[in-house]
Every structure is written in C-alpha cells, then in structure tokens.
Amino acid sequence: MIGFKNISLRIRIFLSMILLVLLASILILVVTVYQYDEQTKDYNIQRFERKESTTKQTIELELKSKTTYQVNTENLAKIFKERIYEISTINSLNISIYDLKGNLLKTSIAAAFEKIELPPIPKDIIKELSQNSNHKILKASEQNGIGYQSSYSYIHDAKFNRIGILELQFTQDNSEIEKELREFILRLGIVYILMFLIAISFAYFLSSYITRSIITISDKMQQTRLNKRNEKIILNNASTEIEVLVEAYNSMIDELQESAVKLAKSEREQAWREMAKQVAHEIKNPLTPMRLTVQSFERKFDPKDANSKEKLAEYSETLIQQIDVMSSIASAFSDFAKMPTQKREKIEVIGVVKMALDIFNEDYIKYLPKEQELFANLDKTQLIRIVTNLVKNANQAIENTKNPQIEVTVLSEGNRIKIIVSDNGKGISENVKDLIFEPKFTTKSSGMGLGLAMIKNIIEAYDGSISFTSTEGIGTVFIVIIPKT
C-alpha cells in the first residue's frame, strides 16, 4: 500500500480538500440531527408542562368551588367520576388519581363503562416524591415502542393537606416530527451531494493551480546540469512563497554558472599542467641518453682512429634513435589532442581486420570472423588503429603466460558491428579498472598511456562504445560496438 508521503503534492491537496468537505458535511449532519432531537425533547417537555399546568389548575378549581362532596381522599373518586374524562380529553393526556399509599382511585385511561386495574405506584416513586422539595417527579418511559412522559404530584385540599397523588401521562407521538426530520435529511443530503461534486471539481482545479508552479520548478530542477547552460524560471502571478522559491532557484543557477565556468577553467588549467608535466617527462627520457652520447663522443672521438667512421656512425645511430623516440612522443600527443577526423567510406570489415592482424606474426593470435563478408561505412585507417591497439595491448598482457592465446572475433548484430578481442593474460586489477581509459594511465613499464584513450575517442566519434570485462589471472575481453552507417 502506497504511503501518504509517497503521493504527489497535487493529489495530497486534492484528497485533503475532499476529506475536509466530507468531514464537514458529516459533522454538520450529525449536529443537525442532534439539535433536531434536542429541540424535539425540549418541545415535548414544554408542551407537557403547559398541559400539566392547565390540568392541575382545572383539578384545583374543581376541588375548591365545583364539587359538593367533602374534599378528602375517600371522595376523590366520586368528585372526578365523570369530570376526569372531560379534563383528559380537553388536555389530551391520561389522568390517574391515587391515594397517598399509591393505590388507584380513578383513571381516565378506561372509558366510563370500562373497568381497568392499574398497578399501584411503586414505593420508590412515593418515597422520592415525599422527599422532593418541589413535590413533583418527572419520569420518561416507553411501552410497545411508544414514549411517555409522566409526572407525579400531590393533590391538596383547601387547607393544603395532602389527600392524594395525581399522575399525568403524556403520550409522545413523534411520528410527524420524525417524518419532517427524514425529509429534511433527504433534502440536506441532496444539497451535500451537489456540494460534494462541486467541491471535487473545485479541489481538482485548485490543486492543479497550486502545484502548477511547483511542477514547473521541479521540471527545471530535473533538467539542471553542471555541464550546460541552464535557463532561469520566469513565472507570472505566482504566490509569495513560490516567488521566494523561484528567486532562490534563479540565484542558484547564477552561482552554478559561475561555478561551472570556474570549474571548467580549473579543469583546463589542471589538464594542461598534467599534460605539460607528462610531455616534459617523456621528452627528458630520450634527452638523457642523447646528452651522454654527445659527451662520450666529445671525450672519446679521435679523428685519427682507424675506426673513427664506424664510431661516428654508431654515435649518429644512437642520436637518430632518440630523436625518433621524441618524434613519436610529439606525434602521439598531437594525435590525442585533436579529434580524429572521420573519412567514411564503404569498406569490407572482415578483410580490413584481417589486414590489421597480418602485421602480427604470433601463432597464438586467432582470427574468428562470424561472417563471410561485412560491409560498413567507416574509416579504414581508424578501424585498423582500433584493432592493432587492442591486439597490441593483449599481446603485452600475455607476457610470461603459459600457452598464450588471443582471439579476435568479428560479427554483425542488426545495424551494428561487434569486434571482440580476448586474451588469457594477467588481467586488470579491480583498483585500476575505472582508470583504464584515462589519458596518461598505463599499467606497462613503457609507453604514454594514450592508446586506449585515443581509440575510445575514435569509437565514440562513430556513436559507438567500448567496454571490457577482466579477471586477474584469467584474462581480459574488450568489446567494441560500432554502427554500420
């Protein structure tokens, strides 16, 4: 499961806004239902209290001025024999009259011609009623799914003596209110659904608008490179936070450009310093024997010596050899310094590679072409240089190796030529593999280390590649891939 942190900022903003709207809708709905329920309860209580007050006033009036019976507990049933039904009907509630012990005297629940037996008032209610300072108790109950509100209070005579207990029972018929609530919730739900759809659209466009500038900045950052000219970001109508970020990026680009220039200059200077030291070192090598030869000639040469001509020829040959070495050094650095010029022409690769191998006389060099003929548009001289350099390196790697073996394989792979040169020599150690194509790097006791760097330049000029695998003590395999056209 993808974690929330891995989701894009745009999706996070979108989901957060939708979740906020959804939670707000649910919260409003819950509060609405709760408020509606509380208002219904308050309404029922207030309504019951009004009916209760009116009923009590009617009963008190009946006891004070309308009855001809003596007002006491025994006559309560006679006083309200018929009158209880009228009062009950007018106030829409049930009336029950009990004696002080809680036994039923009269009730409006049954009609005049019906007789009903109600249980006595529970003793705990009578006890609670007697201890209540208001001499009134409210109780809520439910029977057969119908809710009731009941109140218990004392009936007093003219002298305010307790002569009975009055129970008023109000039936809570909330069906109409619940119907209204359902209709209200239905309408509210439709409004919420419409609002939710609008919120989704608004959240989508708003999240896109918010992250549009960030995406632009992100794309520019991904394209930022040290070795190329980077463009600055220009945004119109961006927020303050985005403007700060853009200014920081543009400032970084300026600093990066300055650093790149300084780095390039430093690298060029360092490269020239290294090259100058290398050239100086390579030139000093032949100068020393030349100096010694000239000094020896000056000290030992005798024109009268019968062998003077032979000695002069010997001195001259030594100097010429060292001059040739210096010339080869100059040529090697000159060839490396300039990018090899490509002279593309249609050549038969199998024959050219064989021609390059003909200069080697060793029997252990095997040529294994996989094709009879293989044509490509390449520079013949540069191809020969690639092959001879790789075979020469392989030949030097197998020195002091028993049963030496070098194999050169040429094959075609689609629109590419693959040349494989393998040997069973000493191999290349792990700590120098990353340096093998670096100029001036060599593992040999002689040479300037420019061969592999030079042919790498040639191969890459053709949009090709050169790679190798090597294991110490087992051998090395170089693979050259060059497009045919």
Q: Measured between alpha carbons, how far is residue 54 from residues 49, 89, 194, 335 in Å?
A: 9, 12, 48, 120
Query: Do 382 and 312 lie in a common domain?
Result: no
pLDDT tens for each residue of 459-481: 888 889 999 999 988 999 999 99
Query: Do 152 and 251 lie in a common domain?
Result: no
pLDDT tens for each residue of 254-308: 777 777 777 766 766 666 666 666 666 666 666 666 676 677 777 766 777 767 7
Is residue 357 within 8 Å of residue 323, measured between CB atoms? no
The rounded distance, in Å, linking the Cα atoms of 284 and 446 is 14
Is residue 154 within 8 Å of residue 134, measured between CB atoms? no
Query: Do 22 and 77 lie in a common domain?
Result: yes
188: in domain: no
pLDDT tens for each residue of 49-104: 888 888 888 888 888 888 888 888 888 888 888 888 888 888 888 889 999 888 98
209: in domain: no
The enclosing domain of 414 has a CATH number of: 3.30.565.10
196: in domain: no
Long-range contacts of 37-40 (CB under 8 A, 24+ apart): 40/174, 40/177
304: in domain: yes
What's the CA angle centered on 345, arms 341 and 351, to 5 degrees? 110
Could you identify the residue written with the tokens 């036994």?
103
Q: Which of 178, 208, 238 is the last residue of a domain?
A: 178
The rounded distance, in Å, linking the Cα atoms of 77 and 115 is 13
Q: Give residue 423's pLDDT.
A: 94
The rounded distance, in Å, linking the Cα atoms of 156 and 59 is 10
Query: Do 433 and 400 lie in a common domain?
Result: yes
pLDDT tens for each residue of 308-361: 777 777 767 767 766 766 676 666 666 555 555 567 889 999 999 998 888 888
Query: Do 284 and 385 lie in a common domain?
Result: no
The rounded distance, in Å, linking the Cα atoms of 92 and 170 is 8
Backbone angles phi, psi at 371, to 5 degrees: -125, 155
- Other Cβ atoms less than 10 A from the Cβ of 112: the count is 10
Three-state DSSP class for 314?
Answer: helix
Residues 6+ apart with CB under 8 A from 104: 96, 97, 98, 117, 118, 120
9: in domain: yes
Q: Give residue 15's pLDDT.
A: 80
Amino acid occupying residue 252: M
The rounded distance, in Å, linking the Cα atoms of 332 and 10 is 58
Percent of the chain scoring above 70 in pLDDT = 71
212: in domain: no
Q: Produce one character per residue of 300-324: b if its CB has 16 or more CB atoms within 10 Å, e if not.
A: eeeeeeeeeeeeeeebeebbeebee
Considering its fold, how many domains does the chain have in total? 3
Owning domain of residue 90: 4-178
Q: Which of 338, 367, 399 is the last residue of a domain?
A: 338
Is residue 92 within 8 Å of residue 169, measured between CB atoms? no
Write down the pTM of the prediction: 0.38
Helix (H) or strand (E) holding 151: strand 146-156
